[in-house]
């Protein structure tokens, strides 16, 4: 028998043992992966802005709100999330009647948050249901509050009470949700828009235009009255200033004439004959021109001067 037909049984046995060893190792790794995947599928992360609700057979067993890793029991427990941050709910537009029997459409929105997830789940079951219930409360309170105000007090900027109205609505809605144990808090309720039903728009616009025109005419009248008061006051002040100036001028003029007379008298008293000659010559200037004919006695001062007699 040749050596090529001889089979080494020890070598064959060693190869068989290596294959079994590799197969067993792969199976163990596979089991480890399955176990890790199973464990990781029951680990969840609690984020900072959410609540994690853990249910067991449909009942809430705990609520995790602290951020970090948490665990649930496999197959028995399930996890859902609820928001912890503030949310905005746009309340459905609705029609209300004012105190003076005017109809108007009101559009509000509410800012709210979940404070007790367990109460919310027990009463409203979900965020959608909680918002719907809150919307009903908002509409009920807004309708009651606006029903105590006239239409002009709501839409007129000068008479509007929206600031205090929003605060009152927020306070009353919070009382209703607390009474119902809904586990939520309404941070703020605001009136976003007020409109008129189409059939009422034109009549209200016409009245608003009339009110604005009346107000404009009132402002014009007030302006004219103020203008007239200013003109009258200015005229009075001008007359008083002119009267005082004229009086001062007369005093100054009188003082000047007195001083001039004193100076003239002082000057003329030094040479009375020269003064007499000076006055005579001035009278000639005033009384004689190219067409003047003068008939004078020979002994008159005029004649004597004209004739050259100065003595």
Strand partners, 113: 185
- Taking the C-alpha atoms of residue 172 and residue 166, their distance in angstroms, rounded to an integer, is 10
Residue 106 forms beta bridges with which residues?
94, 194
Q: Cα(141)–Cα(147) distance, rounded to whole angstroms? A: 10
Kindly state the tokens that stand for 247. 């009086």
Q: What is the pLDDT of residues 81-128, one digit of tens each?
A: 889 899 999 988 888 888 878 788 888 899 999 999 989 988 988 899
The predicted-structure confidence for 170-189, as pLDDT tens digits, reads as follows 999 999 999 999 999 999 99
- Paired with 94 in beta bridges are 106
Name residue, tokens 């005033």: 286
Contact yes or no for 54/72 (Cβ under 8 A)? yes
Summarised one tens digit per residue, pLDDT across range 241-272 is 999 999 999 999 989 888 888 887 877 777 77
- What are the tokens at 62? 């705990």
CB 182 within 8 A of CB 130: yes
272-299: b (≥16 Cβ within 10 Å) or e: eeeeeeeeeeeeeeeeeeeeeeeeeeee
SS3 track for 248-273: HHHHHHHHHHHHHHHHHHHHHCCCHH
For the chain, give the mean pLDDT.
Answer: 79
Can you give the C-alpha Rg of the chain in angstroms? 57
pTM for the predicted model, two decimal places: 0.52
Instruction: Give the end-to-end CA distance of the chain in Å, rounded to a whole number.
Output: 204
pLDDT at 45: 80
Top pLDDT among 65 and 226 is at: 226
* Residue 1: pLDDT band with limits 50, 70, 90: very low
Handedness of CA 296, 301, 303, 306 (dihedral sign): negative
Name the phi and psi angles at 82, rounded to 5.
Answer: -130, 140
Tell me the pLDDT tens digit for each residue of 207-229.
778 888 889 999 999 999 999 99
Which pair of tokens denotes residue 227? 């203008």
- Least Cα distance to 298 among 288, 290, 309 occurs for 309
Q: In what order do the strands lie in the sheet with 59-64?
A: 59-64, 50-56, 77-83
pLDDT at 2: 43
54 and 80 in contact (C-beta within 8 Å)?
A: no
CATH number 3.30.479.30 is the correct assignment for the domain at 87-195: yes
Report pLDDT for 38: 56
Would you say residue 273 has pLDDT above 50? yes
pLDDT confidence of residue 73 = 77
Backbone angles phi, psi at 192, to 5 degrees: -85, -35
Nearest one of 84, 72, 80, 83 to 52, comparing CA atoms: 80
């Amino acid at each position: 028998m040749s050596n090529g037909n001889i089979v080494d049984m020890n070598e064959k046995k060693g190869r068989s043992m290596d294959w079994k060893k590799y197969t067993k190792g792969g199976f163990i790794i596979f089991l480890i992966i399955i176990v890790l995947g199973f464990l990781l599928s029951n680990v969840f992360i609690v984020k900072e802005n959410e609540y994690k609700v853990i249910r067991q057979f449909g009942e809430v067993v705990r609520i995790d709100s602290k951020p970090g890793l948490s665990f649930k029991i496999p197959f028995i427990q399930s996890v859902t999330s609820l928001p912890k941050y503030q949310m905005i709910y746009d309340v459905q537009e609705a029609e209300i009647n004012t105190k003076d029997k005017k109809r108007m459409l009101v559009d509000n929105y509410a800012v709210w948050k979940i404070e007790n997830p367990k109460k919310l789940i027990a009463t409203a079951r979900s965020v959608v249901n909680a918002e719907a219930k809150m919307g009903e409360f908002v509409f009920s309170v807004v309708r009651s509050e606006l029903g105590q105000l006239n239409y002009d007090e709501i839409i007129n900027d000068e008479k509007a009470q929206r600031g205090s109205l929003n605060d009152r609505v927020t306070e009353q809605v919070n009382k209703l949700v607390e009474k119902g144990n809904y586990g939520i808090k309404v941070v703020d309720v605001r009136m976003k828009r007020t409109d008129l039903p189409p059939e009422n728009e034109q009549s209200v616009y016409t009245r608003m235009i009339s009110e604005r025109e009346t107000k404009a005419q009132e402002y014009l009248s007030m302006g004219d009255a103020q203008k007239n008061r200013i003109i009258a006051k200015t005229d009075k002040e001008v007359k008083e200033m002119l009267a005082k100036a004229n009086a001062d001028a007369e005093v100054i003029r009188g003082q000047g004439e007195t001083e001039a007379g004193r100076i003239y008298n002082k000057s003329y008293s030094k040479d009375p004959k020269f003064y007499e000659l000076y006055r005579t010559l001035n009278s000639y200037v005033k009384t004689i021109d190219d067409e003047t004919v003068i008939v004078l006695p020979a002994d008159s001062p005029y004649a004597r001067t004209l004739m050259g007699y100065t003595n």
